[in-house]
Structure 1
Amino acid sequence: MNSPQLTSNQHYTAADYLRWDDGQRYEILHGGVRAMSPAPSWTHQVISGNLEFEIKSYLRSQKRCQVVYAPVDVFLSDDTVVQPDIIVVCDPQKIEKRGCVGAPDLVVEILSPGTAKLDWNDKFKLYEAAGVREYWIVNPEEQFVHVFQRVDGKFLLNGAYCAEDSVKIGIFEDVAIDLKNVFETNNA
């Protein structure tokens, strides 16, 4: 078992990341390592499963993209490896045994108390710079989804949607997700 010897002044790479097999989950953001928190809350996981199901139900009929939920490694660069909650990848060349190499078409992050700042700031900038076409930030407590779409190399807010709304997935022309199905947690 190979555990990382983490130091704050060392610059880590995807090659370092691939050698770590201590059973813990990590992300590398511009060479800095972040140990991920323990498993997310029950509500977080139910919402993740519901959203992944809604997307997969659509994708099953058109077979041009794949949806995957965490944990999945996304290698954005030599020194940046992240594990978003949900990704959609439409380019089969980006799908490898270890995960997605390059920017997914859609990234979804579901906020947890310990990740909200990271998801809104650092990951927002990472995904924007990497070329992600669409980024959703899901707030399970407030039951809101903020949808950002890439326009001229920058994320622009497409809208903020609540549980009563339907949201179009911008990377597809003909699908909308009913958020009441996503936020249905049976009071978890």
Structure 2
Amino acid sequence: MEKDKKNNSLEEPFTEYGRYSYADYLTWEIEGMVELIKGKVFREVAAPKMRHQAISVNVTSKLFYFLEKKTCKVFAAPFDVRLPVNSKKDEDITTVVQPDICVICDPKKIDEAGCIGAPDLVVEILSPGNSKKELKYKYEVYEESGVKEYWIIQPEMENLMIYTLKQGKYVASRLFTRGDVVKSTCIEGFELDLEDIFGHL
């Protein structure tokens, strides 16, 4: 696939050709969210729906106030998370994702470009167009890179699933829904009442 030299954009289709790195990613000027997963490009053109954004704000704010004055920090998309395998060089990194919400407890992983290395907690809020990406591709890279907890929220179904990393593999929780209070194992003391998240939409 040829790169447009005038504006450094890429021609479609993004996911069918080539293998790209974070170094390539930094040269692109593309509207909408773009992520790299194992060298393949995934583009989300449409803006998230209202329910998605409302849930994101609710969860982010609860994490923000809980973590205030603590070492761990919460970030919401757009925020680049680079997941290196063997090398942290831009040209060697082939996975760059923008989780809806992430919590990072190691300050050394945070720089001006975002995060380099696995966050402790990742929260993804599904949209109709990106469910396959979250459920398959991101699940794999989060597990492989060592994300301790991976939360998947389904706005339309009003539920939440937690995947906890144990001995290098994710173990799924039961399905949580309105009326449940979920607890994080990696963010000690943090609880989320799902009635607060879904009850005001």
Provide the C-alpha distance between the structure 1 equivalents of 2:31 and 2:18, rounded to a whole number of angstroms: 21
Confirm or deny: 8 A CA contact 1:88 1:106 kept in the other structure.
Answer: yes
Task: Give CA deviations for 1:121-158 in whole Å, capped at 9, x if unaligned.
Answer: 11111100010000000010111000011000011013
Q: Which amino acid aligns with 2:17?
A: N
SS at match of 1:67: strand
Question: Structure 2 vs 1, CA of residues 121 and 22 (structure 1 numbering), >3 Å: closer, same or farther?
Answer: closer
Q: Which amino acid aligns with 1:53?
A: S
Provide the C-alpha distance between the structure 2 equivalents of 1:22 and 1:149, rounded to a whole number of angstroms: 34
Instruction: Say whether residues 1:164 and 2:179 are aligned partners.
Output: yes
Aligned pairs (5 A) from 1:30-179: 30-61=38-69, 63-77=70-84, 78-179=93-194
Provide the C-alpha distance between the structure 1 equivalents of 2:199 and 2:112, rounded to a whole number of angstroms: 33
CA RMSD of aligned residues (A): 1.4
SS at match of 1:103: coil
Alpha-carbon shift at residue 24 of structure 1 (Å): 3.3
Structure 1: give runs of 5+ residues left out of the alignment.
Answer: none
Provide the C-alpha distance between the structure 1 equivalents of 2:99 and 2:80, rounded to a whole number of angstroms: 8
Alpha-carbon shift at residue 4 of structure 1 (Å): 2.6
Query: When the two structures are superposed, what TM-score results if normalisation uses the length of structure 1?
Result: 0.93
* Aligned residue in 1 for 2:10: 4
Provide the C-alpha distance between the structure 1 equivalents of 2:199 and 2:113, rounded to a whole number of angstroms: 32
Between the two proteins, the alignment pairs up a number of residues equal to: 185
Instruction: Say whether residues 1:18 and 2:26 are aligned partners.
Output: yes
Provide the C-alpha distance between the structure 2 equivalents of 1:181 and 1:32, rounded to a whole number of angstroms: 37
Runs of 4+ in 1 over 6 A off after TM superposition: none
Determine which structure has the larger strand proportion and give its number: 1
SS at match of 1:16: helix
Task: Give CA deviations for 1:75-105 in whole Å, capped at 9, x if unaligned.
Answer: 1121011111000000111111111111110
State the percentage of identical aligned residues.
41
